Amino acid sequence: MCKKLLVLLLCSSIFWSGCAGRESNPIPAFLPGDNERSCEVLKAEIAQLDAEMQQILPKVNKGVTNTLWATAGVFLIVPFFFMDLKEAEKIEFDALRTRRNRLLLISSKCE
């Protein structure tokens, strides 16, 4: 009986961990043609990346939220469904920062 319960618990935890968050969609750090872009286009894209980073920034740090959900999940199982374990926003934010740094490096030739 104990083994069946353990197997059931393990299978259900693996199943629900697959649903914990969304898949990330990071942008590449380098796109073909970046070196040929004009200074104005580079500065405009850097400004756009800054705006996107400011929009994503409040969602990046979910450590406290996940800790609270996990603590509540010890007593009730429902809070486990609200945990985000994939950290898609953090991965996307890091990709935006890498792309921004790459464009800043290219745009340093403009000055």
Task: Tell which wins on pLDDT, 32 or 83.
Answer: 32
pLDDT tens digit sequence for 28-79: 888 888 888 888 988 999 999 999 888 887 776 665 565 655 666 656 665 5
Is 49 within 8 Å of 96 (Cβ atoms)?
yes
The owner of tokens 């740094």 is 101
Round to whole Å and give the CA distance between 17 and 21: 9
For residue 81, the 8-state DSSP code is G
**Average pLDDT estimate for 6-28:** 66
Instruction: Look at residue 97 and tell me whether its pLDDT is greater than 80.
Output: yes
Q: Which of 37, 55, 52 lies closest to 105 in space, CA to CA?
A: 37
Tell me what pLDDT residue 81 has: 58
Is 31 within 8 Å of 102 (Cβ atoms)?
no
Task: Tell which wins on pLDDT, 13 or 6.
Answer: 6
pTM, entire model: 0.64
